[in-house]
A = this chain, B = another copy of it.
Amino acid sequence: MITLASDFGSPYPAAMRGVVCRRSDARVVDVAHDLPRGDTTAAAFWLRFVLPEFPPAVHCAVVDPGVGTDRGVLVVRAGEHVLVGPDNGSLLPPARALAGTDDDAGGAETVAVYAADPGDPASNTFHGRDVFAPLAADVHGAVAGVREGDWDPGAVADLDDLSPAGDYVAGDLPGATVTADRVEAAVLAVDGFGNVVTSAPGDAVDGWAAARVGNVRAPVVATFGAVPAGDPLVTVGSHGNVELDVNDGRGDEAFGLSAGGSVVLRRTE
């Protein structure tokens, strides 16, 4: 299986699908192609969220604000999975999640980072088509039997144009400062419905009745339906992080937050 993710919108991803189908018989599954444009942190977050649901696969993930510059090309082995994409920090957080470790420094056995030669791509602006999709197809061919269970991650290292990466962008996701009554966190992403995903772990608000964010008070609840439509809420999202939402409305507008910003939650009644 080869999965495809990008911030290319449409119809560009069709070219990636075509390239992969032409070079490989692998099953091809789209992850998403409307990842926040050029936002490598949001890409790392969303990929870390959804890729671990997949069976072993080659994941071609292209959020690439540095396309056409000299940024590197990575192939990352992560347990039974492989990620292919630009060297900008978007791949390592999902790789660590796929490998079941939060440690890539010492995780040589499960997370291994290779640099690939981009060759001489036909364009300077669409390496999704010209570099990453063909590379993903070739990597998939090199590691036979992805779906059948006899996946051999070691075979990736046999690709002629791969070598262990020296430096690469680790792309650690922002953390959070948590005390009993106050949480300071980054806004990792805002989803299409306006839900604000923070970098705070869900247990940071354990036992809180409500939180104050700026001058908005929102109850800490288990799900949207626990508050009336139009009301703000704080909940633990399905990714395990603290989320600021509005039932049947937009949390980003209600709380005045956007991706890349920071947020302080104060415990209240």
What is the copy number of this chain in the assembly?
3
A-B contact pairs, 18 of them (CB 8 A): A5-B11, A10-B32, A11-B34, A11-B50, A14-B53, A15-B49, A17-B29, A18-B55, A21-B29, A21-B55, A65-B224, A69-B223, A123-B237, A123-B238, A124-B223, A124-B235, A125-B237, A126-B237
Q: Does A122 contact B (CB under 8 A)?
A: yes
A44 vs chain B, min Cβ distance (A): 13
Residues of B within 8 A of A126 (CB): 237-238
Residues of B within 8 A of A10 (CB): 32-34, 192
Residue count of chain A within 8 Å CB distance of chain B: 60
Contact check, A225 vs B69: say whether CB atoms are below 8 A apart: yes
Q: Does A87 contact B (CB under 8 A)?
A: no
For residue A54, which residue of chain B has the nearest CB?
B18
B5, B18, B38, B222: which contacts A124 (Cβ < 8 A)? B222
Contact check, B122 vs A53: say whether CB atoms are below 8 A apart: no
- Please, how many angstroms separate the alpha-carbon atoms of A67 and B248 in the complex? 12
Residues of B within 8 A of A223 (CB): 67-69, 124-125
Residues of B within 8 A of A225 (CB): 65-69
A49 vs chain B, min Cβ distance (A): 7
Q: Does A170 contact B (CB under 8 A)?
A: no
Q: Other CB < 8 Å A-B pairs besides A14-B53, A68-B226, A125-B238, 17 of them?
A: A5-B14, A9-B193, A10-B32, A10-B33, A11-B49, A13-B32, A14-B32, A15-B53, A17-B29, A17-B53, A22-B55, A65-B248, A67-B224, A68-B223, A125-B223, A125-B235, A126-B238
